[in-house]
Amino acid sequence: MKKEKVLIANRGEIAIRIMKACNELGLDYVVVYTKEDRASGHVKKALKERGSQAVYRISSYKDPNEIFSVADHSGATAIHPGYGFFSEDFRFARRAALRNRPITFIGPRWEVIRDLGSKINTKRIAKSLRIPVIPGSDEPIYSEIEAETLAEELFLKQKEQGIDKPSILVKASAGGGGMGIEEVNHLDVFRQVYRRIQNYAKRQFGDEGVLIEQCMRDYHHLEVQLLCSQHKEVVHFGTRNCTIQSTGRQKRVEVAPGFDPTIWEYPFDARKVLDDMVKYSIRLAEKVEYDNVGTWEWIVTRDGKPYLLEVNTRIQVENEISACISRISRQRGPVNLIKEQIRSALGEKLNFSQRHVSFEGTSIELRIVAEDVKRGFAPWCGTITRFEFPDEPWVRVYTHVPQDEPYEIPTEYDPNLALVIVWGKDTQEAKKRAKDFISETVIDGKDSRGNGIITNLSYLYEKVDEVLRF
Amino acid sequence: MSINLNDLLRKYKSHPYEDHEILAPHTGVVKFKVEEGQAVKGPSGQWLHRPGTLLYILEREKNPKRITSRFDGIVTDLRVDLDGKFVEAGQPLMLIRHRLNKQEITNRILKEVLHIFPAPERARYFFTPETSTKIEKGKAKSLSVKTGDEIVIMSLMKRDTILNYEGPSGVLYEVYFKNGDILEQGAPLFGVCLPERLPFVEKVIQRIKTEWDD
A57 flagged as catalytic: no
| Count of domains for chain A | 4
* Dihedral (CA of B59, B60, B62, B67) sign: negative
Give yes or no: residues B158 and B183 share one domain. yes
Same-domain pairing of B57 and B117 = no
End-to-end C-alpha distance for chain B, whole angstroms: 28
Residues A320-366: tens digit of each pLDDT:
999 999 999 988 778 999 999 999 999 999 999 999 999 999 999 99
Domain membership flag for residue A304: yes
Q: Searching chain A, which residue's CA lies closest to the CA of residue B86?
A: A73
- Residue A299: predicted pLDDT: 94
Residue A312 resides in a domain? yes
- Can you list the positions of beta strands (E) in B42-131? 54-60, 63-68, 73-76, 86-87, 92-99, 115-118, 123-127
Contact A200 B160 (CB under 8 A): yes
Which chain A residues have a beta carbon less than 8 Å from that of B86? 73
**Distance, in angstroms, between A59 CA and closest chain B CA?**
5
Question: Is residue B165 included in any domain, yes or no?
Answer: yes
A26/A47 same-domain check: yes
Same domain, yes or no, for A192 and A291?
no
A198 touching B, CB under 8 A? no
Distance from CA of B109 to the nearest CA of A (A): 28
A327 forms bridges with which residues in the sheet? A334, A358
User: Using CA atoms, how far apart are residues B34 and A421, in angstroms rounded to an integer?
Assistant: 55
B156–A73: do the CB atoms touch at under 8 Å?
Answer: no
Q: Please tell me whether residues A231 and A345 are part of one structural domain.
A: yes
The active-site residue out of A11, A17, A314, A343 is A314
- Give the domain CATH number at A62: 3.40.50.20
Element holding B202 (H helix, E strand):
helix B198-211
**pLDDT on residue B140:** 64
- Give the mean pLDDT of B142-166: 89
CATH of the domain at B60: 2.40.50.100
Give the pLDDT band (50/70/90) at residue B207: confident
* Domain shared by A230 and A309, yes or no: yes
Clarify whether residues B89 and B163 are in a common domain.
no
Q: Is A407 within the bounds of a domain?
A: yes
In a shared domain, residues A20 and A53: yes
Residues of chain B in contact with residue A69, where contact means CB-CB under 8 angstroms, are 26-28, 60-61
**If you average pLDDT over each of A163-177, A214-228, B134-148, which comes out highest?**
A214-228
Averaged pLDDT score across all residues of chain A: 93
Rounded mean pLDDT, A294-318: 95
Q: Is residue A174 part of a domain?
A: yes
Is the domain of B137 the same as that of B167? yes
- Is B27 close to A448, i.e. CB distance below 8 A? no
Domain encompassing residue B41: 17-99
Determine the Cα–Cα distance for residues B41 and B44; give it in Å rounded to an integer: 8
Q: Which of these three, B37, B70, B99, is where a domain ends? A: B99
Establish if B92 belongs to a structural domain.
yes
Tens-digit pLDDT profile for residues B101-150: 888 888 888 888 899 999 998 899 999 988 988 888 776 677 899 999 99
DSSP letter assigned to residue B36: T
Extended strands (E) in A189-330? 210-214, 219-228, 234-245, 251-256, 293-301, 306-312, 326-328
- The lowest-confidence range among A128-137, A360-369, A435-444 is A128-137
Q: Best interface-test mutation with A: which of B21, B23, B27 has the largest number of A CBs within 10 A?
A: B27
In angstroms, how far apart are the furthest CA atoms of chain B? 57
Residues A145-164 have pLDDT tens digits of: 999 999 999 999 888 888 88
Does B7 fall in a domain?
A: no
Query: Are B185 and A199 inside 8 Å of each other by CB?
Result: no
- Domain, as residue range, for A86: 5-106
CB contact under 8 A, A58 and B60: no
- Shared domain for B109 and B47, answered yes or no, is no
Helical pair A119-128 and A110-117, crossing angle rounded to 10 deg:
90
Strand B144-145 to B181-183 pairing: unpaired
Task: Give domain status of residue A114, yes or no.
Answer: no
Whether residues B62 and B116 share a domain: the answer is: no
Position A122 in a domain = no
Both B111 and B204 in one domain: the answer is yes
User: Nearest-CA distance from B131 to chain A in Å?
Assistant: 14
Residue A129 in domain? no
Q: How confident is the model at residue A44 (pLDDT cuts 50, 70, 90)?
A: very high
On whether both A45 and A15 belong to a single domain, the answer is yes
Q: Are A314 and A231 in a shared domain?
A: yes
How many domains does the structure of chain B reveal? 2
Q: How many CB pairs under 8 A join A and B?
A: 70
Probe site for chain B from A411, A447, A451 (most B CB atoms < 10 A): A411
Residue A206's alpha-carbon distances to A131, A192, A262, B136, in angstroms, are: 32, 20, 47, 19
CB contact under 8 A, A66 and B27: yes
Contact yes or no for A59 and B122 at CB 8 A = no
| A-chain residue closest to B25, CA distance | A59
- Summarize the confidence of residues A293-299 as an average pLDDT: 97
Report the CATH number at residue A210: 3.30.1490.20
Q: What angle do CA A134, A138, A140 make, to 5 degrees?
A: 120
Residue B2 lies in a domain: no
Whether residues B68 and B141 fall in one domain: no
